[in-house]
Amino acid sequence: MAEKFFDSFQIGGLEIKNRLVASAMFEYAAADGKITETFLNHYSKLAQGGWGLIIGGMQAVSASGAVAPIMVNTAYPDYVADMKKVVAEVHRHDAKIFVQLQHAGTRTFPTEGYDKFSVDDATPKQLETVIKNFGRAAANCKAAGVDGVQIHAAHGFLINSFLSPSTNHRVDNFGGTIENRALLLYKIYDSIRASVGENFIVGVKFPFSDLIEPNITPEESLSVLKELERRGLDFAEISSGLVMDESKFSFTPRIGKNEAPFLASATLAAENLKIPVVSVCGYRTPDFVEKVLTETKIAAVSFGRPTVREPNLANRWRVDKSRAKCISCNKCRDSVSDGEITCQVEKILRAKK
């Protein structure tokens, strides 16, 4: 019997050939914010690997909102032309591609010319600029032929820092209640939707839990997702975790025998939303993926770190159902000097041959 994860599914009016999603992984491959041949080849490998949908690593909505010059900036003059080449390569292999849009907040590059501001000290004027930049970035993505965009509202970057009661201490209309803490996200969504129209795919990567206290609650998370759905959101990818390290609070935990640490949150979201819900983090075995897709309302499962070690994992699972090779060591985050995100375990193994 054919596995359900190779069945097609719909996000908005877009048909995706299977339910295996390559989740966003920061590529470390831009040069001064510009798309490079290495960047294009990175997505060519993923597209050839059999993934139905590829969510590109986060791209900055402005040059000043990037984490580093190695992050693609959607505002440089040749962005549309360069991104068209990436889209054409992905489409050539019958895959779809979304761009993940981001402003890094306090994690912008620590040098002059970057918007390194926190949730508590951001001025209304700065926030208005960020909101407009998200809309402009989405319009550039649409002009490049990208199939959709994903708002990155997770993992401790700017939007997540507004959503979380751990980091948001504002006393104006952007702080306090969840309605206020989510206001920046709502305004960003509305700006994007106004820029791209009703028929273009817009989704969100959403932090269902901060994994620290005080914590956004499941009830608050659902209320935000339902409001975004009411406004026209097309899909949600459910993650968790406010910080980026290797502690137990990380959004990239080490996985033992228990897969999918955020499955319960994704299941709850899928049960309460009409739009497709994608579950991310910790999926390693095809039998477990099949069980999730068969026994829950989750529409698709996405993979981050496994795509770094095995860009062809989706294709491999058609013939070889063994566990993904990724051991969740998180060392791929140490590959900046390689000029592209790489599996450090594979790098060591190749060096020994």
* pLDDT value of residue 115: 86
Q: Count the Cβ atoms, other than its own, within 10 Å of residue 320.
A: 9
Token pair in block for residue 219? 């009830």
Nearest to 282 by CA among 304, 310, 308, 298: 304
* DSSP character at residue 278: E
pLDDT average, residue stretch 25-51:
97
Bridge pairing between strands 9-11 and 14-16: antiparallel
Q: How confident is the model over 306-321, as a mean pLDDT?
A: 96
pLDDT tens for each residue of 14-32: 999 999 999 999 999 999 9
Q: Give Dmax (Cα) for the chain.
A: 60
Altogether, the residues listed in the chain come to a count of: 353
pLDDT at 1: 47
Q: What is the DSSP string of 83-105?
A: HHHHHHHHHHTT-EEEEEEE--G
Domains in the chain (CATH in brackets) are 4-352 (3.20.20.70)
3-state secondary structure string across 198-250: CCCEEEEEEECCCCCCCCCCHHHHHHHHHHHHHHCCCEEEEECCCECCCCCCE
What does the angle CA 32 – CA 115 – CA 40 come to, to the nearest 5 degrees? 30
Q: For all residues of the chain together, what is the average pLDDT? A: 93
The SS3 of residue 131 is: helix
What are 288-300's pLDDT values in tens digits? 999 999 999 999 9
| Overall average pLDDT of the 258-272 stretch | 93
For the record, the structure tokens of 292 come out as 């999730």
Phi/psi zone of residue 313: left (φ > 0), alpha (ψ -120 to 50 degrees), beta?
alpha
pLDDT, one tens digit per residue, over 189-206 is 999 999 999 999 999 999
Q: pTM (2 decimals)? A: 0.95
Q: Are 207 and 230 in contact (CB under 8 A)?
A: no
Percent of the chain's residues with pLDDT above 70: 95
Alpha-carbon dihedral sign for residues 245, 67, 34, 100: positive
Integer Cα distance of 129 and 286 in angstroms: 44
Name the nearest CA neighbour of 6 among 14, 17, 15: 17
H-run or E-run covering 47: helix 37-48
What letters, b where the CB count within 10 A reaches 16 and e where it falls short, cover 151-190?
bbbbbbbbbbbbbbbbbbebeeebbeebebbbbbbebbbe
Omega within 30 of 0 (cis) for the link into 214: yes
Q: Band of the pLDDT at 94, cuts 50, 70, 90?
A: very high
Query: Distance between the two ends of the chain, CA-based, in angstroms?
Result: 39
Residues 6+ apart with CB under 8 A from 233: 189, 202, 203, 204, 225, 275
Exposure class string for 51-65: b at 16+ Cβ within 10 A, else e = bbbbbbbbbbbbbbb
Taken in order 105, 110, 114, 120, the sign of the CA dihedral is: positive
pLDDT digits (tens, 9 = 90+) for 271-284: 999 999 999 998 99
Residue 306 has pLDDT above 50, yes or no: yes
pLDDT at 322 over 90: yes
User: Is residue 30 within 8 Å of 74, Cβ to Cβ?
Assistant: no
* Least confident residue range of 102-106, 140-144, 194-198, 345-349: 345-349
Residue 255 pLDDT grade (very low, low, confident, very high; cuts 50, 70, 90): low
